[in-house]
């Protein structure tokens, strides 16, 4: 069953079919279609067809009802479920949410309809998936007309040539209501407005239900309500129509015809034969042929009655000739514009995308403006067939010739446009597939490099520097590959509705496979980007720690070797009564004391670096990390031994000073004080002086406090370095929103995990401030550093909050742009469908 031409208003294909040997018959049919178009009510059809579908789907209890016809049918699932009910066969469907899955489902619907002989001209799967209201209604009407009409025809015995369900039902209604007062059924629109026709049909078969004469004086709305109520309550016919649908100025023909089909099926009729009067009566209609005007018996040419045309008719003919010349000129200009396009597809993907999109815009312009083709052909057909408009034979031939030339050029333009589109599509898909495969190969190679070279952190500075360089090179590659990922995001995929499996002859992959491959590439790309970002932060942190370790290791090692050698020489010295030797050792101890604070801080830094590295390495498997840890432990032991030896030397010097014959009023007293001070300030164990326990406790407490402050300073510097690093990272602000999300999430997690430790550090700093003040020492510098550290920590917290807001704003802007784009596309679609005609692509 072919799709009704009324579904495409002013179609140039339909109008062009009127030209030729059978122009008159086709023109009369087209005129009838134009007259019927006013009775096409989308709002009424939508409501009636929705009820019909839900009534059918009620047989499948698991199927949810249709609420919005144009939206609910877009994925094709409900259409396939409806066909399962109508055909009794299972229909396999795609359950995916992507557009390609929806198109595959609708393609299967069209294929099933084709199997039943229902040809859907000018309706594609894209129209249904896009929610095209007019074409969705046309599709549902084709289904109703076939299956509902098939049930009707089973109930009647018709001749072999009787296939027009509308004519059959019209004749049946006329036959059944013959003799009923006030009933004259000539169509399926106005003849039913007063409700008498519906009531007459019901009364014909069930006169016991009501007295027909009683309703003759009722208002139309009351009669309609009476008929619909009886049909619902007695014959179980759903109320597909509402009263206001029928009494409107232009009732919907298809909805009324559908309702009458239901009446026919439910009324207790027996098999009937309706004679087609059009085939038994001699036609006296005047028709137009290619050669002359004739009756059914074709009068001779010399008997044609001619009339003089009025000035108005002459002006109408002249206007038509002017308009068709303008339209033809427009078509010829379009042909010229198409011929000027570069016939050779570019080898550059960006260029060919521009060529393809430019040609798509050209195709859209054809669709939007093709109405004028149909309108001018319709005007010409009306001139040829109008009984009140007389044309001379040469004028008839001229009008026909111009219409034929216009139609030929239009068809040629469409054909060339489609060929051009196919060529560009083939070249475009080849380049896009090449780009996909090239990018796939790069991802595979990069994943292999990451697995081999970067997946496991090296355990020494040389290896870390090498990985740092490799990662920097990979970052450069990511920047260069970014353009390819953007190109793949804007990949153009053309779905061919004629291919149920979407197998594109221009591509080695189906559209479903391309969608799946693009999704896979996107996920792999994101994984690599996330890895690079995370590893870059880790390498920066580890690299800094290893550099500090190597610097401090060398520094502490050299200092310990030097001091161990000096102390050994001091211990070997036996002549401490010699003033020069004595003073030399005192100076050595004093110099050592001045250096010890710096060395102790260096050792603490080594311990701090080792603690940071422990977060990145597993001590059970990291051999070099364990060696480094052992080396630092050795430093601690050597430091302790050095302190013990320094104490021993200090005691020897004190003993030598007490037994010395040097003048008590000489510098020996001052020297003793210096030695004592040096030993007390540089050692962490008690001296051999016979001091009181209180004095020794005080000295030990002082040493502990010095150690705590050193450790605080080291930790504080660590936090300052970390804050500096995070601020640098956040200031970079990569353009990719997803990368920024990953960065801020990791930074926030680190910040939260460090917060408790930081608070403990601040409490320690406050305690140190109190101790310094209690000891009457200057705490200004320490308090300033502590306050600065707290401020930096709070500023970093605010920076993280602001960064999160920026990311959220970027997300919002992206979504807003997508919504705006969708709205614009939807508006463009609405504007394009207002023309009621589209090219079949």
- What value does the mean pLDDT take over residues 221-235? 91
Give Cα separations from 23 to 19, 37, 327 (angstroms). Answer: 5, 21, 21
Q: Enter the pTM of the model.
A: 0.39
**Whole-number pLDDT of residue 96:** 74
pLDDT at position 222 over 90: yes
pLDDT at position 135 over 70: yes
Question: Which band of pLDDT confidence, cut at 50, 70 and 90, is reported for residue 40?
Answer: low
Alpha helices in 253-387 (DSSP H): 253-266, 277-280, 311-340, 349-369, 371-385
pLDDT at position 401 over 80: yes
- What value does the mean pLDDT take over residues 459-484? 87
How far apart CA 593 and CA 649 sit, in angstroms, is 13
**Other beta carbons less than 10 A from residue 241's beta carbon:** 24
Q: What is the distance, to the nearest Å, from the Cα of residue 455 to the centroid of all Cα atoms in its chain?
A: 31
The structure tokens listed for 207 are: 């006169």
Alpha helices in 450-510 (DSSP H): 461-489
pLDDT at position 41 over 90: no
**Whole-number pLDDT of residue 809:** 81
- What value does the mean pLDDT take over residues 805-814? 80
Alpha helices in 61-116 (DSSP H): 69-72, 77-87, 99-115
How far apart CA 259 and CA 253 sit, in angstroms, is 10
- Least confident range from 201-215, 566-580, 612-626, 687-701: namely 687-701
pLDDT at position 486 over 60: yes
**Whole-number pLDDT of residue 160:** 34
**Whole-number pLDDT of residue 251:** 87
**Other beta carbons less than 10 A from residue 132's beta carbon:** 21
**Whole-number pLDDT of residue 201:** 92
Let me know: does 607 contact 635? Beta carbons within 8 Å. Answer: no
Mean pLDDT of the chain: 76
**Whole-number pLDDT of residue 658:** 54
Question: Which band of pLDDT confidence, cut at 50, 70 and 90, is reported for residue 62?
Answer: low
Model pLDDT for residues 80-91, shown as the tens digit of each residue: 888 888 888 888
The structure tokens listed for 334 are: 């379009």
Residue (of 715, 724, 717, 726) closest to 537 by Cα position: 726
Ramachandran class of 704: left when φ > 0, alpha when ψ lies in -120 to 50, beta otherwise: alpha
How far apart CA 77 and CA 129 sit, in angstroms, is 11
Let me know: does 717 contact 765? Beta carbons within 8 Å. Answer: no
**Whole-number pLDDT of residue 456:** 85
How far apart CA 21 and CA 195 sit, in angstroms, is 43
Q: Is 2 helix (H, G, I), strand (E, B) or coil?
A: strand
**Whole-number pLDDT of residue 195:** 92
Residue 470 CB contacts under 8 Å (≥ 6 apart), including other chains: 449, 453, 454
Q: Tell me which residue has tokens 């005691």.
A: 651
Beta bridge partners of 510: 503
**Whole-number pLDDT of residue 503:** 45
**Whole-number pLDDT of residue 301:** 37
**Whole-number pLDDT of residue 203:** 92
Model pLDDT for residues 560-578, shown as the tens digit of each residue: 999 889 889 888 877 777 7
**Whole-number pLDDT of residue 13:** 42
Let me know: does 782 contact 765? Beta carbons within 8 Å. Answer: yes
Let me know: does 194 contact 220? Beta carbons within 8 Å. Answer: yes
Let me know: does 374 contact 14? Beta carbons within 8 Å. Answer: yes
- Least confident range from 424-438, 592-606, 694-708: namely 694-708
Above pLDDT 90, what percent of the chain? 9
Model pLDDT for residues 329-376, shown as the tens digit of each residue: 888 888 888 887 776 777 777 787 787 888 878 887 777 677 778 888
SS (H, E, C) 48-73: HHHHHHHHHHCCCCCCCCCCCHHHHC
Residue 431 CB contacts under 8 Å (≥ 6 apart), including other chains: 347, 349, 352
Let me know: does 41 contact 255? Beta carbons within 8 Å. Answer: yes
Question: Which of 1-15, 86-100, 740-754, 785-799 reaches the highest mean pLDDT?
Answer: 785-799
Let me know: does 138 contact 128? Beta carbons within 8 Å. Answer: no
pLDDT at position 710 over 60: yes
pLDDT at position 523 over 80: yes
pLDDT at position 48 over 70: yes
Model pLDDT for residues 588-603, shown as the tens digit of each residue: 888 888 888 888 888 8
How far apart CA 607 and CA 443 sit, in angstroms, is 40
Residue 545 CB contacts under 8 Å (≥ 6 apart), including other chains: 609, 612, 613
Question: Which band of pLDDT confidence, cut at 50, 70 and 90, is reported for residue 328?
Answer: confident
**Whole-number pLDDT of residue 836:** 43
**Whole-number pLDDT of residue 299:** 36
- Least confident range from 120-129, 269-278, 511-520: namely 269-278
Residue (of 170, 227, 221) closest to 199 by Cα position: 227
**Whole-number pLDDT of residue 230:** 92
- What value does the mean pLDDT take over residues 612-616? 86
Enclosing H/E stretch for 287: strand 287-288
Model pLDDT for residues 631-654, shown as the tens digit of each residue: 888 988 888 888 888 888 888 877
Residue (of 594, 682, 597) closest to 643 by Cα position: 682
Angle ∠(574,575,580) on CA atoms, nearest 5: 135
Long-range contacts of 63-69 (CB under 8 A, 24+ apart): 69/136, 69/137, 69/140
Let me know: does 46 contact 242? Beta carbons within 8 Å. Answer: no
- What value does the mean pLDDT take over residues 32-40? 48
**Whole-number pLDDT of residue 155:** 60
- What value does the mean pLDDT take over residues 27-55? 68
How far apart CA 172 and CA 228 sit, in angstroms, is 20
Question: Which band of pLDDT confidence, cut at 50, 70 and 90, is reported for residue 487?
Answer: confident
pLDDT at position 198 over 90: yes
Higher pLDDT pick, 690 / 813: 813
Let me know: does 507 contact 433? Beta carbons within 8 Å. Answer: yes
Model pLDDT for residues 296-321, shown as the tens digit of each residue: 333 333 333 344 567 777 888 888 88
**Whole-number pLDDT of residue 35:** 47
Higher pLDDT pick, 477 / 23: 477
Give Cα separations from 60 to 53, 110, 415, 838 (angstroms). Answer: 11, 21, 45, 35
Question: Which band of pLDDT confidence, cut at 50, 70 and 90, is reported for residue 607?
Answer: confident
Question: Which band of pLDDT confidence, cut at 50, 70 and 90, is reported for residue 493?
Answer: low
């Amino acid at each position: 069953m072919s799709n009704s031409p009324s579904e495409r208003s002013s179609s140039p294909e339909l109008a062009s079919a009127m030209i030729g040997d059978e122009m008159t018959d086709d023109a009369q049919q087209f005129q009838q279609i134009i007259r019927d178009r006013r009775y096409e009510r989308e709002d009424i059809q939508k409501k009636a067809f929705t009820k019909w579908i839900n009534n059918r789907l009620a047989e499948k209890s698991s199927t949810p009802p249709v609420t919005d016809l144009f939206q609910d049918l877009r994925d094709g699932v409900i259409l396939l479920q409806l066909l399962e009910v109508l055909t009794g066969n299972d229909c396999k469907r795609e359950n995916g949410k992507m557009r390609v899955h929806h198109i595959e489902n609708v393609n299967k619907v069209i294929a099933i309809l084709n199997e039943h002989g229902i040809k859907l001209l000018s309706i594609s799967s894209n129209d249904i998936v896009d929610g095209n209201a007019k074409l969705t209604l046309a599709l549902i009407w084709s289904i109703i007309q076939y299956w509902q009409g098939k049930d009707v025809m089973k109930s009647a015995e018709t001749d072999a040539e009787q296939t027009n369900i509308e004519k059959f039902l019209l004749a049946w209604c006329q036959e059944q209501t013959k003799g009923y007062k006030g009933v004259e059924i000539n169509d399926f629109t106005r003849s039913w407005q007063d409700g008498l026709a519906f009531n007459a049909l019901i009364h014909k078969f069930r006169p016991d239900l009501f007295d027909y004469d009683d309703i003759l004086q009722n208002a139309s709305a009351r009669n309609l309500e009476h008929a619909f109520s009886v049909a619902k309550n007695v014959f179980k016919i759903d109320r597909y129509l509402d009263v206001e649908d029928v009494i409107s100025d232009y009732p919907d023909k298809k909805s009324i015809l559908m309702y009458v089909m239901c009446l026919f099926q439910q009324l207790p009729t027996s098999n009937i034969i309706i004679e087609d009067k059009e085939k038994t009566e001699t036609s006296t209609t005047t028709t137009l042929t290619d050669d002359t005007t004739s009756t059914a018996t074709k009068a001779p040419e010399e008997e044609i009655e001619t009339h003089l045309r009025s000035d108005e008719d002459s002006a109408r003919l002249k206007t038509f000739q002017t308009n068709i010349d303008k339209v033809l000129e427009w078509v010829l200009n379009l042909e010229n514009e198409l011929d000027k396009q570069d016939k050779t597809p570019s080898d550059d993907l960006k260029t060919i995308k521009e060529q393809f999109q430019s040609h798509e815009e050209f195709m859209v312009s054809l669709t939007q403006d093709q109405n004028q083709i149909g309108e001018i052909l319709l005007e010409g057909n009306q001139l040829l067939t109008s009984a009140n408009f007389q044309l001379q034979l040469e004028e008839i031939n001229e009008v026909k010739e111009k219409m034929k030339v216009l139609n030929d050029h239009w068809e040629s333009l469409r054909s060339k446009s489609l060929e051009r589109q196919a060529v560009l599509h083939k070249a475009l898909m080849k380049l896009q597939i090449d780009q996909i495969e090239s990018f796939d190969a790069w991802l595979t190679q990069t994943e292999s490099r990451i697995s081999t070279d970067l997946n496991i952190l090296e355990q020494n500075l040389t290896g870390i520097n090498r990985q740092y360089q490799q990662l920097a090179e990979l970052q450069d590659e990511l920047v260069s590959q970014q353009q390819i990922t953007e190109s793949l995001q804007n990949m153009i995929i053309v779905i061919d509705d004629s291919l149920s499996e979407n197998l594109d002859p221009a591509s080695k992959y189906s559209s479903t496979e391309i969608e799946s491959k693009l999704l896979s590439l996107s996920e792999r790309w994101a994984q690599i980007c996330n890895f690079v970002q995370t590893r870059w932060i880790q390498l920066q942190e580890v690299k800094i720690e290893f550099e500090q370790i190597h610097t401090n290791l060398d520094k502490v090692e050299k200092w310990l070797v030097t001091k161990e050698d000096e102390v050994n020489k001091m211990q070997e010295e036996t002549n401490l009564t010699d003033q020069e030797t004595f003073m030399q050792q005192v100076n050595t101890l004093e110099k050592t004391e001045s250096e010890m604070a710096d060395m102790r801080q260096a050792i603490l830094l080594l311990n701090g670096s080792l603690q940071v590295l422990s977060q990145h390495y597993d001590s059970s498997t990291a051999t070099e990390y364990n060696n480094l840890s052992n080396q630092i432990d050795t430093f601690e032991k050597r430091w302790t031994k050095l302190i013990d030896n320094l104490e021993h030397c200090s005691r020897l010097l004190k003993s030598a000073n007490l037994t010395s014959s040097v003048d008590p009023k000489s510098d020996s007293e001052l020297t003793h004080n210096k030695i004592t001070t040096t030993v007390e300030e540089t050692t962490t164990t008690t001296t051999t002086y016979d001091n009181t326990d209180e004095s020794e406790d005080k000295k030990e407490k002082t040493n502990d406090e010095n150690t705590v402050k050193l450790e605080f300073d080291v930790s504080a510097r660590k936090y300052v370095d970390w804050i500096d690093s995070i601020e640098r990272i956040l200031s970079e602000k990569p353009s990719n929103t997803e990368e920024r999300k990953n960065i801020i999430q990791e930074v926030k997690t680190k910040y939260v995990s460090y917060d408790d430790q930081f608070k403990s550090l601040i409490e320690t700093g406050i305690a140190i401030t109190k101790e310094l003040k209690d000891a009457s020492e200057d705490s200004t510098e320490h308090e300033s550093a502590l306050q600065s550290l707290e401020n930096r920590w709070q500023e970093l917290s605010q920076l993280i909050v602001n960064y999160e807001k920026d990311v959220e704003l970027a997300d919002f802007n992206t979504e807003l742009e997508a919504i705006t784009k969708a709205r614009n596309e939807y508006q463009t679609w609405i504007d394009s469908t207002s023309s009621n005609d589209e090219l079949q692509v």
